Amino acid sequence: MPLSLTVLGTASPHPGPGRPCSGYLLRGAGAEIWVDAGPGTFAELQRHTDPERLTAIWISHLHADHSADLLSAAYAFAYGGLVPPVPVPVYAPLDCARRLAGFFGRPDVRFLSGVFDFRALYDGHTVRHWNIRLTSRAVAHDTEAYGLRAECQGSVLAYSGDSGPCEALTELASGADLFLCEADIDRHRESEGSPQVHLTPEDAGDAARKAGVRELYITHVGPTLTRQTATARAAAAFGGPTRTAREGETIPF
């Protein structure tokens, strides 16, 4: 199998004991890519690889439960003795570097250039690391947000990030071998407004069915649901193989 996905964290909207927020390690063809950096995931990353080996970091959006552990990585790389051979490319929404610099009380982001090489995402952004091709698509959320499609030697991973129901998400996941998809909320509420910014389990299953994915992998389940319930409901809507993302497991595909 040319690709593997290791689950570092799945929690929403805050970490719990043994359950960091959103984060994953994507590996294949010599590349190691940290996908989303929710609180607690940098520690879990070190269980599975040396952070100095990271080829890239990819951040879906700048909500803290998907990005806050960039701060931990910055301390590790700048002061903790974990020194990458070159600054690690960070693919993220445009404001990422400024927000991270703000944690240090620094108005100028250039001091981060020794550890991170920030590269702004946009809809349709495509880059290749080793033999992994990463494509980002803008998805529906209440801030600038992207889903990810990773392709390597015929294997395809699609990742929703945080998204409401939208055509871009279905297109992103089209024909994917593994669709890593949030199922954050029990149901939509009128107060949620438009566009809807998260998926119910039924939304996740419906997107997987429309996209014709091989397997659905449920993650980012919020406090109004259990992971087991969310997965069962998503499976009923999808009608295909569906499993629950759990910290520490690695799936080759």
Model confidence at 63: pLDDT above 90: yes
Model confidence, pTM: 0.96
pLDDT, tens only, 19-57: 999 999 999 999 999 999 999 999 999 999 999 999 999
Q: What percent of the chain has pLDDT over 90?
A: 94
Q: What pLDDT is recorded for position 227?
A: 97
- Work out the pLDDT band at 221, boundaries 50, 70, 90: very high
* Residues forming a β-bridge with 104: none
With a CB cutoff of 8 Å and minimum separation 6, the contacts of 105 are none
pLDDT band at 11 (very low <50, low <70, confident <90, very high): very high
DSSP collapsed to 3 states, 223-235: CCCCHHHHHHHHH
At 112-154, the pLDDT tens digits run: 999 999 999 999 999 999 999 999 999 999 999 999 999 999 9
Q: Tell me: the pLDDT tens digits for 187-203?
A: 997 766 667 889 999 99
Q: Indicate whether 213 pLDDT > 70.
A: yes
Query: Given this model, what pLDDT does residue 114 score?
Result: 93
Angle subtended at Cα 114 by Cα 49 and Cα 84, rounded to the nearest 5 degrees: 20
- Give the pLDDT score at 192: 61
**Nearest residue to 7 (alpha-carbon basis) of 253, 250, 252:** 250
Helix (H, G, I), strand (E, B) or coil at 31: strand
Q: Examine the pLDDT at 2 and tell me if it is beyond 90.
A: no
Residue 165 CA to residue 163 CA, distance in Å, equals 7
Give the C-alpha separation, 52 to 40, whole Å. Answer: 18
Query: Mean pLDDT of all residues in the chain?
Result: 96
- Residues 72-100, mean pLDDT to the nearest whole number: 96
Residue 91 has pLDDT above 70, yes or no: yes
